[in-house]
Structure 1
Amino acid sequence: MHQFKKISLTLTVLFLCIATIFSGNVQQVEAAKDPLGLKAEAAILLDAKTGKILYAKNPDVILGVASMAKMMTEYLVLEAIANNKITWDQKVKINEYVHKLSAAPGLSNVGLTQGEEYTVEELYQAMAIHSGNAASVALAEIISGTEKNFVALMNKKAEELNLEDYKFVNSTGLNNSSLLGNHPAGNSDEENIMSARATAKLAYRLLTDYPEVLETASMPVLKFRDGREYKNFNWMLPTLIYQYEGVDGLKTGSTDFAGAGFTATAERNGQRFISVVMKAADKDERFSETRKILDYAFSNFGEEEIVKENYQVKKQKTLPVTKGKEDQVEIHTKEAINMVIKNGEKDNYKTVLVLDKEKLNKKGELTAPVKKGDKVGYLTIEPKEGKELGFLTKEGQKQIKVDVIAANDVEKANWFVLMMRGIGGFFGDIWGSVSSAVKGMF
């Protein structure tokens, strides 16, 4: 029995050693897959124009999002402004709860006095620049009556935007346990959660639908009515300690649960990128990780014309036409295809032509008349080898798809020509049958 235990213990130790070795190999393989070697738990890089994903690390792991959740609050405020539901100069009276939250220790805030009125614009700036949590709650209440109602609106909008991996439990991004006993939706220990992909999609939609968000997000300092100056927590903005050329937004976040995160956007020479870093070790690391991503973006990617306007596929420059004055028509792309790709990789893509079968008969012919500009299909591109990371949205995917059209008119032939062709075809078929029969005799 003692001998059996000894053998069992030896096997257990051996198993653990093997498991450790294999675990180490897996970690090495995973690290090798990440060209940037980021320390953050998850990250993603996008072309801001199309939402094309240029880099990703654990993009679908669901993590705490902290104050980056305020991007949804910003979206809903800007939407309410656009829909004339609220106005920038509308006054908001501060209640007891919002006042107390604005004075809570350890939270990012701009002090708000109970009973005093602040404009929507003042509160929005406090939220967007200094991540004011009490200001976020005040805005949520002016839009939806209560923060609980606003949280329902946040989740509804997230579904509309097809974010997929998300859960909003408050308007601020704080842990519910930090809200002085107020739990807008859920338990005290809940926190807003999202994946890097969902966070990037929210940022992408925010920038696309309301580009004016950058007017406030790009302000390095908030000069508030209390006479104080509040620094933007985005320390990569000009004049701040981690300033980076081109950065003009967007939102930071940090809690014990979420770690440190940062959704950044930067533009140089007309090229804009969006990056997300989630669960970095600390506030400094979220900026150093973002710098790595943006350096990688600006050094390695640019927009290229992959397919020219009026491009013709080599083996399919024409389509046959029946009942027309001509028996074929030239086809070409209506527009060019431009896409942000890695430098030097333009030749790594191939064209794919898809014809509209509903426009063709069983023989694959168009039927005259054909008008110049008539759509006959579409052309898209795909990598010759491997698989791309794809696009955040279906709309982005459509940007690498262009119509293929008829390059000229083909008029319908008159009845006499069609009749003569029919007769010619009839005798041609007979002659063909006779020729085959004669050949068969010999």
Structure 2
Amino acid sequence: MLAGSLFIAPAVAAKPALQVMSSSALVLDVNSGQTLYQKNPNQVRPIASLTKLMTALVVLDAKQNLNDVITVDESDRDLLKGTHSRIRMGTKVTRRDALHLALMSSENRMASALARHYPGGKPAFIRAMNNKARQLGMRSSRFYDSTGLTTRNVSTARDLSKLVAAAYRQPLIRQFTQDTSREMRFNSPAYTLMFNNTNPLVKNSDWDVHLSKTGYTDEAGRCLVMRAKPDNRELAIILLNAQGKRTPVGDANRIRQWLRS
């Protein structure tokens, strides 16, 4: 270099901005606890069927016999949103299978029946849900039913990261939310149905999904929470209030690509 000449360091390319379409988002590195990305993480929103992770925790905390048979009846019909269910009235099912379908395929009638067959019925179940939320430090979360059909079930992305962590500690919740599909044979009445996971990413081995749950109502938008290990990095991903059926999956893939960069 000549005396008096000015040295100019080579330019370093800036990391591209992450464009997440969900209204609220949180991405955590599970091992370090580091927040990798956040967008409105403390905004309180309806959470739709993400509720069912809390439903599962309450059922398992109560240590009810999972082999007990429970019955779906008219009180499990959705009169709030009028959503369709293929589960017939009068269907008898084990508590284990009801929990499986509530988590994997977000079956509302199963989630309702689980709460109804809790000691003290649905009122006691809802109290247990809110007690569990307080125990987990979910200060901005409130629960009013076991399905998530009501808009009064609310939380934040930050609170839901605590719910995901608690749910992950339950092997049965991990197993049921990882299952891609399940043929369910009911004996009374006798019929057989195939159920699929509501999160298409569980079928993608590159994502290595360890736990997931989706949710949707008009008010909550499309929601997705996951614990996954893409590219050998353990992540917790919470996405709330996306518009468009494929948007949460698109956001998850955008997050993954951004982290690679």
Say yes or no: TM over 0.5: yes
Match of 1:253 in 2: 215
Measured after TM superposition, the shift of residue 111 of structure 1 is 0.3
Match of 2:253 in 1: 291
Provide the C-alpha distance between the structure 2 equivalents of 1:51 and 1:127, rounded to a whole number of angstroms: 29
Residue 294 to residue 144, structure 1, CA distance change in 2 (3 Å): farther
Measured after TM superposition, the shift of residue 268 of structure 1 is 4.5
Provide the C-alpha distance between the structure 2 equivalents of 1:273 and 1:211, rounded to a whole number of angstroms: 18
Residue 145 of structure 1 is aligned with which of 108, 120, 126? 120
1:276 aligns with 2:216: no
Whether the 8 Å contact between 2:28 and 2:35 is mirrored in structure 1 is yes
Match of 1:205 in 2: 166
Provide the C-alpha distance between the structure 1 equivalents of 2:257 and 2:231, rounded to a whole number of angstroms: 14
Residue 125 to residue 53, structure 1, CA distance change in 2 (3 Å): same
Measured after TM superposition, the shift of residue 53 of structure 1 is 1.9
Provide the C-alpha distance between the structure 2 equivalents of 1:249 and 1:287, rounded to a whole number of angstroms: 15
Residue 139 of structure 2 is aligned with which of 149, 161, 164? 164
Residue 106 to residue 281, structure 1, CA distance change in 2 (3 Å): same
Provide the C-alpha distance between the structure 2 equivalents of 1:204 and 1:295, rounded to a whole number of angstroms: 24
Measured after TM superposition, the shift of residue 94 of structure 1 is 2.8
Q: What residue identity is the alignment partner of 1:292? A: R
Provide the C-alpha distance between the structure 2 equivalents of 1:281 and 1:153, rounded to a whole number of angstroms: 32
Match of 1:86 in 2: 64
* Secondary structure at the counterpart of residue 117 of structure 2: helix
Match of 2:7 in 1: none
Whether the 8 Å contact between 1:43 and 1:59 is mirrored in structure 2 is yes
* Secondary structure at the counterpart of residue 216 of structure 1: helix
Identity of aligned residues (%): 25
Q: What residue identity is the alignment partner of 1:192? A: N
Q: What residue identity is the alignment partner of 1:113? A: M
Aligned pairs for 1:46-195 within 5 A: 46-49=28-31, 51-80=33-62, 85-98=63-76, 100-101=77-78, 105-107=82-84, 109-114=85-90, 116-175=91-150, 190-195=151-156
Gaps of 5+ in 2: 1-15, 186-190
Q: Residues 340-395 of structure 1: CA distance to partner in whole angstroms, max 9, x if unpaired?
A: xxxxxxxxxxxxxxxxxxxxxxxxxxxxxxxxxxxxxxxxxxxxxxxxxxxxxxxx
Match of 1:217 in 2: 177
Residue 23 of structure 2 is aligned with which of 41, 45, 57? 41
Whether the 8 Å contact between 1:275 and 1:293 is mirrored in structure 2 is no
Residue 148 to residue 38, structure 1, CA distance change in 2 (3 Å): same
Q: What residue identity is the alignment partner of 1:224? A: M
Which is bigger in relative contact order (C-alpha 8 A, separation at least 6)? 2
Q: What residue identity is the alignment partner of 1:106? A: T
Provide the C-alpha distance between the structure 1 equivalents of 2:233 and 2:172, rounded to a whole number of angstroms: 17
Q: What residue identity is the alignment partner of 1:231? A: N
Provide the C-alpha distance between the structure 1 equivalents of 2:99 and 2:88, rounded to a whole number of angstroms: 13
Residue 136 to residue 248, structure 1, CA distance change in 2 (3 Å): same
Between the two proteins, the alignment pairs up a number of residues equal to: 241
Q: What residue identity is the alignment partner of 1:163? A: M
Measured after TM superposition, the shift of residue 67 of structure 1 is 0.5
Whether the 8 Å contact between 1:110 and 1:130 is mirrored in structure 2 is no
Aligned pairs for 1:383-422 within 5 A: none
Residue 212 to residue 48, structure 1, CA distance change in 2 (3 Å): farther
Whether the 8 Å contact between 1:276 and 1:290 is mirrored in structure 2 is no
Measured after TM superposition, the shift of residue 197 of structure 1 is 0.5
* Secondary structure at the counterpart of residue 118 of structure 2: helix
Structure 2 length-normalised TM: 0.84
Q: Residues 188-221 of structure 1: CA distance to partner in whole angstroms, max 9, x if unpaired?
A: xx421111111111101211x3144221111111
Provide the C-alpha distance between the structure 2 equivalents of 1:119 and 1:157, rounded to a whole number of angstroms: 24
Provide the C-alpha distance between the structure 2 equivalents of 1:158 and 1:63, rounded to a whole number of angstroms: 15
Q: What residue identity is the alignment partner of 1:156? A: N
Provide the C-alpha distance between the structure 2 equivalents of 1:234 and 1:56, rounded to a whole number of angstroms: 22
Gaps of 5+ in 1: 1-33, 176-189, 301-442
Provide the C-alpha distance between the structure 2 equivalents of 1:168 and 1:78, rounded to a whole number of angstroms: 17
